[in-house]
Amino acid sequence: MYLVEISGVVQGVGFRPFIHNLALSFDLKGYVINNGYGVSIIIQASKDKVEQFTEQIKLQKPILSKIESIHIKQIKSKKIFKSFKIKKTKKSNHILTMIPSDIAMCKECQEEIEDKNNRRYRYPFITCTNCGPRYSIIKTLPYDRCNTSMDKFIMCKKCKKEYKNPKDRRYHAQPIGCFECGPSLLLLNNKAQTVEVKNDKFIDKIVKFISDGKIVAIKGIGGYHLICDATNDEAVQLLRDRKKRPSKPFAIMVKDINTAKQIAAVNKNEEELLSSNKRPIVLLKKNKINNLSKLIAPDINQIGLFLPYTPLHHLILQKLDNPIVATSANISNEPLCTTYEEIMQMSSIWDYCLDHNRDIVNSCDDSVLFWQHDNMFMLRGARGYTPKYLNLPKKTNKNILSLGANQKSTVAITVKDKVILSPYIGDLEGISSINHFKSNIDILMRIYNFSPDIIVCDKHPNYESTKLAFELKSKNKNLELIQVQHHYAHILATMGVNNITSKVLGVSFDGTGYGDDGNLWGGEFLVCERNGYERVGHFKYFKLLGGKKAIKEPRRIALSFLFDIYGENIFEIKNNTVKSFSKHELKTLYQVWQKGLNSPLTSSCGRLFDCVASLINIKQICSYEGESGLLLENFYDANIKDIYKFSFDNGQIDFSQIVNQILEDIAKEENIKIVVVSKFFNTIVEIIFTMYKKYDLPLVLGGGVFQNRILLQLLIDKIPNIILPKDFVSNDSAIAFGQALAVINKDI
């Protein structure tokens, strides 16, 4: 008798029926069962046969499964099996099973909903073993129907027959249902009244509303979307006004890949990614001529597109002539809406809501990705990609909980040799987002039956995540609390995804993060080793006039440099930056600068993009994070090879020297924007290259600044073997992973 144990993504992906059918074809006797690690198979057969059988498991495994390990062990048993069965699941405390992600509707299901003779013709919740919701409906492991939000739907006779038939493609598909027994739609108006829909024509009705220029809310897999016709200026403006989102680009859902190609340039990699069963939002280069409203992504040459991923989206898009705006339904900075109560709180934003009665247990936003030079990068890791399982350099017996940063937050736990990273949670501002953050910690702890020995957080005393870490520590004296420097965590994260543990030169460029000296770092060169780092270079500190306010106003950054350069003479100067302030504001800010009131020192590289955007009048006040960097991308000209002169003084680069040269260029009044932007990008690349040559170590990038596609491409071209946060995020969503690595590394 043999025991075969398989770990990896092997639950909720049709693994047991697959094993069952394979065992039948081998004429094996025994059983297969889910457990806390994955699946166990008991086989009564010769060693040769068991080995042949496991070979075929590896070769034929179900599409959505991922095998991490297979162990074969001989066991003693007197039991005689007469057949091969799927046994009911055991409870287990030591859980290392990977939770499958939510997967887009598969081809077979799509064919069925389009087939008039199929009993699920136009059923908006069709799923099978290979597709449908997973993470978003799981309450706990093991992944069985009773542990999901499908537990309240009692299967009808026909569904039950499919569920129980090992030859059926819905055998043990936990979320299955049909018109008779499964989830159903509900249409509401914004006064919470049910709108009567004749003959179940929900789709036709909602399509009519969208075509008429209404704003509708639609419940998807991991949350609600706000939706409107993407070609209708009035509808898009209405959505912007109601959502108080003046210019941040909207993501667009298109019915198929051909429609995507009419809107943007789509290469082979991007096409594959758009059509993959993860169906993320993919950032693409917008075609100059397209039929979208100009208000979708004003002044930006990129556009985020995605294809329908639920049967409901598919049914709606098939009936619509135009692409739709599909943006996460949330009040700015608050978490994504997942319940009826939450979407009702936003009823002033939408006119109608297409709701349904399958509960979202775990919220999960749409993922946002892009391709750059044969590498894939994430801006937001969520639906389809999370929870993410990352490797640790070694196994750990300590339970580590890392709480990440404050913006774009994620949390992570360690289980054996893995870090399990939560989906993107969002910014920690306001009580509901903090509660949402806590609930994400609870989800991971509950599913993995985890309680921490060590908590890791950022060094910033005012981060909500740091405050929570101290709160948890104060409640449990046995907990160890470790704080990890922000920019070091960025570099460790990129090292981690690339399995690098040797000494490197890390370039950690972002908005701001708390430095060891109490100043706000953000333009850092760190020589990093497994167990520590040395700060070998950075941008010379400048004042953030008004603290947080300066982060939203590029003109305050530029003004800070202009004060450095002109001092009191600033009042005689008339340039774009100065002109954007009233005389009174200028005087006040001068005092603020002189006395250093509410003006923390920073070495942030992200803010230098702001400075440039203000000096050449591209943006004085931002309406969303990273706006100035995105706008600068439009003005880069690859034919301009010049750079601005710079120097390192004790490892510090004084950006005022560069601002002086920018002012000289502006005075020349020729193609100012293109010249300045191109030279600025080239200069940042040259600064990095100079340090790379000096230290002669592998160069590792980390931090949100490297989401800038121009900068990324220039660096990839210039520096061979550059180590990138590929298949991962470079922004603060990466911090939780880096924090876990900092603790593990100390242990080695």
H helices of 523-651, in order, are 548-552, 554-566, 576-579, 583-595, 606-615, 627-633
User: Considering only residues 91-110, where is the footprint of Zn ion by CB under 5 A?
Assistant: 106, 109
CB of 134 to Zn ion, least distance (A): 12
- Kindly report whether the peptide bond that precedes residue 142 is cis, defined as omega within 30 degrees of 0: yes
CB of 9 to Zn ion, least distance (A): 17
What mask, x for binding Zn ion by CB under 5 A, covers residues 111 to 130?
A: -----------------x-x
Does 495 interact with Zn ion (rule: CB under 5 A)?
no
| Of residues 177 and 222, the one with the C-beta less far from Zn ion | 177
| Of residues 130 and 466, the one with the C-beta less far from Zn ion | 130
| Of residues 131 and 382, the one with the C-beta less far from Zn ion | 131
CB of 252 to Zn ion, least distance (A): 25
| Of residues 106 and 710, the one with the C-beta less far from Zn ion | 106
Does 62 interact with Zn ion (rule: CB under 5 A)?
no
Q: Which of 3, 33, 67, 178 binds Zn ion (CB under 5 A)?
A: 178
Q: Which of 181, 376, 479, 663 binds Zn ion (CB under 5 A)?
A: 181
Q: Which of 39, 131, 415, 742 binds Zn ion (CB under 5 A)?
A: 131
Instruction: Give whole-number Cα distances, 675 to 170, 302, 438, 455, in Å.
Output: 60, 21, 47, 48
Task: For residue 526, give the nearest of 487, 483, 486 by alpha carbon.
Answer: 487
Question: What whole-number distance in Å separates Cα of residue 289 and Cα of residue 253?
Answer: 18
| Token code pair at residue 9 | 């993504």
Give every CB contact of residue 541 below 8 A, 6+ residues apart in sequence.
519, 601, 602, 603
Task: For residue 739, give the nearest of 402, 375, 287 by alpha carbon.
Answer: 402
| Of residues 129 and 602, the one with the C-beta less far from Zn ion | 129
| Of residues 33 and 178, the one with the C-beta less far from Zn ion | 178
Does 312 interact with Zn ion (rule: CB under 5 A)?
no
Q: Which stretch binds Zn ion (CB under 5 A): 175-183, 415-423, 428-436, 490-498?
A: 175-183
User: Considering only residues 393-422, where is the footprint of Zn ion by CB under 5 A?
Assistant: none
Does 445 interact with Zn ion (rule: CB under 5 A)?
no
CB of 70 to Zn ion, least distance (A): 26
Contact assessment for residue 458 and residue 483, using Cβ atoms and an 8 Å cutoff: yes
User: What region does 651 belong to: left with phi over 0, alpha with psi -120 to 50, or beta?
Assistant: left
Give every CB contact of residue 727 below 8 A, 6+ residues apart in sequence.
375, 376, 377, 378, 497
Sign of the C-alpha dihedral computed for residues 344, 211, 265 and 286 taken in this order = negative
| Of residues 153 and 525, the one with the C-beta less far from Zn ion | 153
CB of 312 to Zn ion, least distance (A): 14
| Of residues 181 and 472, the one with the C-beta less far from Zn ion | 181
Q: Which stretch binds Zn ion (CB under 5 A): 20-28, 36-44, 131-139, 511-519?
A: 131-139
Contact assessment for residue 343 and residue 359, using Cβ atoms and an 8 Å cutoff: no
CB of 120 to Zn ion, least distance (A): 9
Contact assessment for residue 562 and residue 577, using Cβ atoms and an 8 Å cutoff: yes
Instruction: Give whole-number Cα distances, 582 to 298, 579, 586, 594, in Å.
Output: 27, 7, 6, 18
How many other CB atoms are there within 10 angstroms of residue 76's CB atom?
5
Does 180 interact with Zn ion (rule: CB under 5 A)?
yes
CB of 626 to Zn ion, least distance (A): 37
Does 489 interact with Zn ion (rule: CB under 5 A)?
no
Contact assessment for residue 366 and residue 251, using Cβ atoms and an 8 Å cutoff: yes
Applying CB under 5 A, the site for Zn ion has a residue count of: 10
CB of 24 to Zn ion, least distance (A): 23
CB of 386 to Zn ion, least distance (A): 21
- The SS3 call for residue 672 is helix
CB of 531 to Zn ion, least distance (A): 48
- The SS3 call for residue 692 is helix
| Of residues 62 and 600, the one with the C-beta less far from Zn ion | 62
Give every CB contact of residue 570 below 8 A, 6+ residues apart in sequence.
559, 562, 563, 578, 586, 590
| Of residues 130 and 577, the one with the C-beta less far from Zn ion | 130
User: Considering only residues 135-174, where is the footprint of Zn ion by CB under 5 A?
Assistant: 156, 159
Give every CB contact of residue 462 below 8 A, 6+ residues apart in sequence.
none
| Of residues 179 and 470, the one with the C-beta less far from Zn ion | 179
Question: What whole-number distance in Å separates Cα of residue 438 and Cα of residue 141?
Answer: 20
| Of residues 109 and 441, the one with the C-beta less far from Zn ion | 109
The residues binding Zn ion (CB under 5 A) are 106, 109, 128, 130-131, 156, 159, 178, 180-181
